[in-house]
């Protein structure tokens, strides 16, 4: 008789796990709390725009994501334009593919450029670089890299090995843009991950799914049984079965459960976790942010694709993305999507939309006074990204090595040392492989 599997959460991790288990012959049912699937890889349509809610780009060498894009016959689209950092009332291009790029860069001063150049040169053949050079295997990287490279925080390590200026204007800006919080709260290993991204075309080239990230989520879901508007209230055990109770629906019994939701959500509905499950769940913390999008006239931001705004330069805005570079436009208008520093997001999280729009507009006008904006959409993210501290990484590493799958309950998702969409996707595939090997 085929084993039955409940997958809780229809984000990229849950959908990947469900799809691989379905292909292997398991009877899979997916439960999603929201009225839409895809989680942070979902899209919305409004006023003629197709707009990604969360992850709106990925790196060219994301191996897992690209595998499924090919499998489903979707179209991969490179995103043109420059990455820039804001400093001294101006934007400066970020590109360090050659010594000439480093020398000509105005993002940091001459002493920092020399120190940065030497650091990048050393990383090309170093053991650290061999661990971190491939973002496409980042889900495995954080579980295999030596502890010595993970200790401390990225800001302190960058200040020591390169300069405090590089730590403030490059490493911290990258962390706040991609992880939504300060580099003082993330493993020092991030420095070795960022280094190859600065110098590699394959790692610095951004892509998206033509038509919106939702296309990928929908392609998975077409193969599966997915219940939306079905938040799970309880997961309990009864005579060897796992009993899943969705809100407003009948209890269902399963042989196996895969939970692919934020750890904070798991703590609310997993009634009797083991000691090890409870311990790993309790230590997870998340960064918060708010994404504020405005309509702007096309060509307003010229060739900027993504702008990094150091905390020293602006205490509210961490980054903004020019959605026109993804082909998003409606008539004469496109969108600018602005992400906030966590410190600002925490203060504004409970304020009205109107207040947040006004505050962010004022700050954006300081950065781009020539760009006129109109309110479009605002999204609060109380669980934007797990914080990958040394303590978090080591606790998760031990759990995955010894305790994953206890009572036939498996966890999947970015918080399991699997950052970004690529990591979450790889996490779902890894969990599916574990289940297939153990239960088929």
DSSP sequence for 12-34: HHHHHHHHHHHHTT-EEEEE-SS
The yes-or-no verdict on residue 409 having pLDDT over 70 is yes
The per-residue pLDDT for range 293-348, each reduced to its tens digit, is 999 999 999 999 999 999 999 999 999 999 999 999 999 999 999 999 999 999 99
Residue with tokens 């993002």: 107
Please give the pLDDT value at position 433.
Answer: 97
Half-sphere exposure of residue 332, counting CA atoms within 13 Å on the CB side? 4
Confidence category of residue 130, pLDDT binned at 50, 70, 90:
low
Question: How many residues make up the chain in this entry?
Answer: 440
Please give the pLDDT value at position 135.
Answer: 52
The yes-or-no verdict on residue 361 having pLDDT over 70 is yes
The yes-or-no verdict on residue 98 having pLDDT over 70 is no
- Count the neighbouring beta carbons within 10 Å of the beta carbon of residue 352: 10
CATH 1.10.10.10 fits 286-386, yes or no: no
- Count the neighbouring beta carbons within 10 Å of the beta carbon of residue 181: 25
Rg for the chain (alpha carbons), in Å?
22
The per-residue pLDDT for range 218-238, each reduced to its tens digit, is 999 999 999 999 999 999 999
Mean pLDDT score, 3-15: 97
Of 97-106, 293-302, 365-374, 387-396, the one with minimum mean pLDDT is: 97-106
The yes-or-no verdict on residue 129 having pLDDT over 60 is no
Of 40-54, 308-322, 356-370, the one with minimum mean pLDDT is: 40-54
Of 32-41, 57-66, 196-205, 398-407, the one with minimum mean pLDDT is: 196-205
> How far is it, in rounded angstroms, from Cα 155 to Cα 143?
21
Residue with tokens 């109109």: 374
Confidence category of residue 151, pLDDT binned at 50, 70, 90:
confident
The CATH code of the domain at 4-44+213-284+388-439 is: 3.50.50.60
Please give the pLDDT value at position 404.
Answer: 98
> How far is it, in rounded angstroms, from Cα 55 to Cα 177?
12
- Percent of the chain exceeding pLDDT 70 equals 93
Mean pLDDT score, 345-353: 98
DSSP at 405: T
CA–CA distances in Å: residue 3 to residues 31, 394, 408, 412: 17, 32, 11, 19
Higher per-residue confidence, 371 vs 50: 371
Please give the pLDDT value at position 147.
Answer: 82
Please give the pLDDT value at position 52.
Answer: 87
Mean pLDDT score, 260-276: 96
The yes-or-no verdict on residue 138 having pLDDT over 70 is no
Of 179, 95, 193, give the one whose Cα is nearest residue 142: 193
Please give the pLDDT value at position 137.
Answer: 62
Per the DSSP assignment, residues forming a β-bridge with 29 are 6, 225
Contacts of 374 (CB under 8 A, 6+ apart): 294, 295, 296, 333
Confidence category of residue 440, pLDDT binned at 50, 70, 90:
confident
The yes-or-no verdict on residue 109 having pLDDT over 60 is yes
- Percent of the chain exceeding pLDDT 90 equals 73
> How far is it, in rounded angstroms, from Cα 88 to Cα 306?
18
277's tokens: 């499950």
The per-residue pLDDT for range 166-211, each reduced to its tens digit, is 999 999 999 999 999 999 999 998 887 777 666 666 556 789 999 8
Please give the pLDDT value at position 101.
Answer: 72
The yes-or-no verdict on residue 140 having pLDDT over 70 is no
Start and end residues for every CATH 3.90.660.10 domain found in the chain: 286-386
Contacts of 75 (CB under 8 A, 6+ apart): 69, 209, 210, 211
Start and end residues for every CATH 3.50.50.60 domain found in the chain: 4-44+213-284+388-439
């Amino acid at each position: 008789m085929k084993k039955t599997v409940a997958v809780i959460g229809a984000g990229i991790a849950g959908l990947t796990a469900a799809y691989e288990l379905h292909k292997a012959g398991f009877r899979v049912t997916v439960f999603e709390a929201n009225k839409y699937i895809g989680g942070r890889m979902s899209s919305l349509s409004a006023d003629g725009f197709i707009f990604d809610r969360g992850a709106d780009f990925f790196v060219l060498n994301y191996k897992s994501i690209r595998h499924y894009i090919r499998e489903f016959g979707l179209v991969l689209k490179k995103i043109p334009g420059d990455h820039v950092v804001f400093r001294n009332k101006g934007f400066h291009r970020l590109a360090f593919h050659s010594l000439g790029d480093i020398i000509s860069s105005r993002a940091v001063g001459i002493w920092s450029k020399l120190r940065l150049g030497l650091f990048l040169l050393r990383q090309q053949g170093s053991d650290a670089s061999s661990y971190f050079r491939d973002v496409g295997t980042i889900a495995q990287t954080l579980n295999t890299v030596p502890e010595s490279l993970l200790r401390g925080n990225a800001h302190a390590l960058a200040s020591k090995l390169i300069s405090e200026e590089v730590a403030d204007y490059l490493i911290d800006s990258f962390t706040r843009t991609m992880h939504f919080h300060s580099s003082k709260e993330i493993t020092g290993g991030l420095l070795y991950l960022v280094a190859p991204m600065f110098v590699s075309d394959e790692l610095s080239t951004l892509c998206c799914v033509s038509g919106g990230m939702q296309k990928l989520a929908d392609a998975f879901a077409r193969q599966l049984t997915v219940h939306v508007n079905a938040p799970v209230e309880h997961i309990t055990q009864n005579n060897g079965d796992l009993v899943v109770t969705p809100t407003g629906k009948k209890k269902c019994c399963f042989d196996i459960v895969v939970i692919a939701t934020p750890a904070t959500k798991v703590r609310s509905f997993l009634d009797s976790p083991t000691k090890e499950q409870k311990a790993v769940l309790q230590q997870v913390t998340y960064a918060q942010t708010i994404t504020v999008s405005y309509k702007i006239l096309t060509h307003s931001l010229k060739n900027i694709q993504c702008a990094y705004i150091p905390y020293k330069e602006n205490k509210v805005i961490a980054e903004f993305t020019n959605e026109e570079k993804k082909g998003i436009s409606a008539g004469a208008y496109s969108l600018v999507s602005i992400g906030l520093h966590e410190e600002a997001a925490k203060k504004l999280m409970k304020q009205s939309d109107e207040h947040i729009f006004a505050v962010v507009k004022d700050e954006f006008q300081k950065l781009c006074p020539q760009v006129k904006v109109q309110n479009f959409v605002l999204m609060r993210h109380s669980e934007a990204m797990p914080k990958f501290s040394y303590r978090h990484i080591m606790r998760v590493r031990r759990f995955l090595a010894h305790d994953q799958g206890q009572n036939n309950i498996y966890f999947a998702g970015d918080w399991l040392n699997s950052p970004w969409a690529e990591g979450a996707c790889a996490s779902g595939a890894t969990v599916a492989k574990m289940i297939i090997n153990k239960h088929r």
